[in-house]
Amino acid sequence: MQILDRYIGRSVLWSTFIALTVLLTLFTFFAFMDEVGDIGKGNYGAWQAVQYVLLTMPKLAYQLFPVAALIGCTIGLGVLASNSELTVMRAAGVSLGRIVWSVMKVGLLIVIASLLIGEGIAPVAEERAQTLRSVAKSDKLDLGGRSGFWARDGNSFVNVRKFLPGKRLGEVTIYTFDGEQQLTRMLYAKSAVYQDGHWLLENITSSEVSFDGVSAQRIKTEPWHTRLSPDLLSVVTVKPNTLSIKGLYDYVGYLRENGLDAAVYEQALWGKIVAPLVTGVMVFLAIPFVFGPLRSVSIGHRILVGTLVGIGFHLLNQMFGYLGLVAGIYPALTAVLPLALALGTGFWLMRRIY
Give 278-311 pLDDT, tens digit per residue: 888 888 888 887 776 555 556 667 667 767 777 7
d(CA 71, CA 20) in angstroms, rounded, equals 9
Give 63-95 pLDDT, tens digit per residue: 889 889 888 888 888 888 777 787 788 778 877
* Average pLDDT for 202-219: 86
Length of the chain: 354
pTM confidence score? 0.71
pLDDT on residue 268: 83
Quick check: helix, strand or coil at residue 116?
helix
pLDDT band for 143, please (50, 70, 90 cuts): very low
Give 309-331 pLDDT, tens digit per residue: 777 887 787 788 777 777 777 88
Residue pair 169/191 in contact (Cβ under 8 Å)? The answer is: yes
As to burial, measured by CB atoms within 10 angstroms (0-12 exposed, 13-18 middle, 19+ buried), residue 3 is: exposed
**Inter-CA distances, 87 with 11, 91, 212, 240, Å:** 16, 6, 88, 47
Q: What average pLDDT does the structure give for the chain?
A: 81
- Among 122, 86, 97, 112, CA closest to 11: 86
pLDDT band for 25, please (50, 70, 90 cuts): very high
d(CA 90, CA 342) in angstroms, rounded, equals 26
E strand or H helix at 190: strand 183-195
**Inter-CA distances, 20 with 114, 119, 312, Å:** 11, 18, 18
d(CA 207, CA 194) in angstroms, rounded, equals 23
pLDDT on residue 144: 47
CA angle 250, 337, 258 (to 5 degrees): 25
